[in-house]
Structure 1
């Protein structure tokens, strides 16, 4: 099996289309997107500032593909066109998994048999995307959500290094996912391993067993399109020109 390629596509809907966008979540469960090379697929709603209040304007589709050609062909599929209907803006990240551990619905969708290789424009010191995903144990919900404002503030304190961040989820309250893009590997390493506040949150997740299932994945960013990912695209262009 070759190394997979991942798309993160954010659909931002105009007000008149937001009910249809919300209904897409139910349609997706009954009729998942079918496309050549699509190995794993999730449609997720978003929350304001990573919190409990839903943002009905923005939904994110995550797809894991066999190769880059199949990933880029997603825009020609019926499923994509169905999600695009009523969207005022569409933005897409193209990612390559570098490291992943844990499970999502009982599997690791980002596992790879081949080590990553780098070519001239995809530099290992370029922007890094990070995905965290967890199913929260019902008994742990109050404790988990009580600590979210602290975690959100620590992310906001990283605005110079954080190019993009969003909180999304398949099921409100219980199944949560964060997707963030950082300026370079050093920036995310400083946040993850050296910032005491973040390490404290990680320690609590282990001590209090908040999650019944969790996954962490890190990606290199191959491409970024659309207004939502403009900072990421600018950083990629800057790295290429250096």
Structure 2
């Protein structure tokens, strides 16, 4: 199985069409029999959970058993033509799930994964949660502290904040040079570790999912660069 994430960045003048795409794309992805699971999501401002949306940037996540060579084959003619029509900057990451636990809308979209494996090398991580309405204030008061030093962390390559429902259903997708450095940040950084402990103790989430992936390939750019170019050459 593959998980494929595409980040589409629109020009300021066409950002509204990014918002519209979330409604239109749903129709075509639902009909696509090669895609058993998909999510259409907005993005946060600073590469992680962020209460401020980035209205120029939108994300598509799918699972599939086939490895496609172009956007039209992958997403279908309508979606490929839409991105081309609005001159979107596109960045796509092809992933294979290796480890994980939890549910997404009551499903295990990446299969029944082991919690730990010996897989190492370039590691992508998806952390996703549905926040309880009664815990929204606590979540948003603490989340900026947890991600404050993410981009300066050793081994960090890139991250993007994504979400299906503003402020309630949120996710962070990040990529690291290896699993050990990712763990060093997640569990060795005091601010981040403290917030993780709070989520458990105060039961912030009604549902959560944590998955690690092997990065298979990337295409395109995000904000003018391919952050993985030097690692996957």
The residue that corresponds to 1:213 in the other structure is 207
Task: Tell me the distance in 1 between the aligned counterparts of 2:135 and 2:183.
Answer: 27
Distance 2:78 2:23 in 1: 17
Q: Does the Cα contact within 8 Å between 2:122 and 2:175 map onto a contact in 1? A: yes
CA offsets 1:139-168 (integer angstroms, 9 cap, x no match): 10000000111112131331x421111111
Compared CA separation, residues 174 and 91, structure 1 to 2 (3 A): same
Residues 143, 195 of structure 2: 8 Å contact kept? no
* Cα separation, 2, equivalents of 1:84 and 1:218: 31
Query: C-alpha displacement at 1:10, in angstroms?
Result: 0.6
Contact 1:133 1:175 in 2 (8 A): yes
Q: How many angstroms apart in 1 are the aligned matches of 2:11 and 2:171?
A: 24
Match of 2:168 among 145, 166, 174: 174
CA contact (8 A) 2:99 2:211 kept: yes
Corresponding residue for 1:240?
none
Counterpart for residue 36 of structure 2: 39
1:234 aligns with 2:230: yes
**After the TM superposition, which of the residue ranges 84-93 and 105-114 deviates more from structure 2?**
105-114
Q: Which moved more, 1:177-186 or 1:196-205?
A: 196-205
**1:6 pairs with 3, 9, 12, which one?**
3
C-alpha RMSD of matched pairs (Å): 2.4
User: In the alignment, what sits opposite 1:111?
Assistant: 111
Deviations 1:98-136 (CA, angstroms, capped at 9, x unpaired):
01211111101011589xxxxxxxxx4321110011110
Q: Pick the structure with more helix per residue.
A: 1
C-alpha spacing 1:87/1:217, structure 2 compared with 1 (3 Å): farther
Q: Secondary structure of 1:233's match?
A: coil
Match of 2:141? Answer: 146
Which of 133, 142, 150 matches 1:155?
150
Count how many residue pairs are aligned between Structure 1 and Structure 2: 225
Compute the TM-score of the two structures, normalised by the length of structure 1.
Answer: 0.84
| Alpha-carbon displacement from aligned partner over 1:196-237 (angstroms, at most 9, x marks no partner) | 322211110010110011100100000011122612121122
Report how far residue 81 of structure 1 moved.
3.0
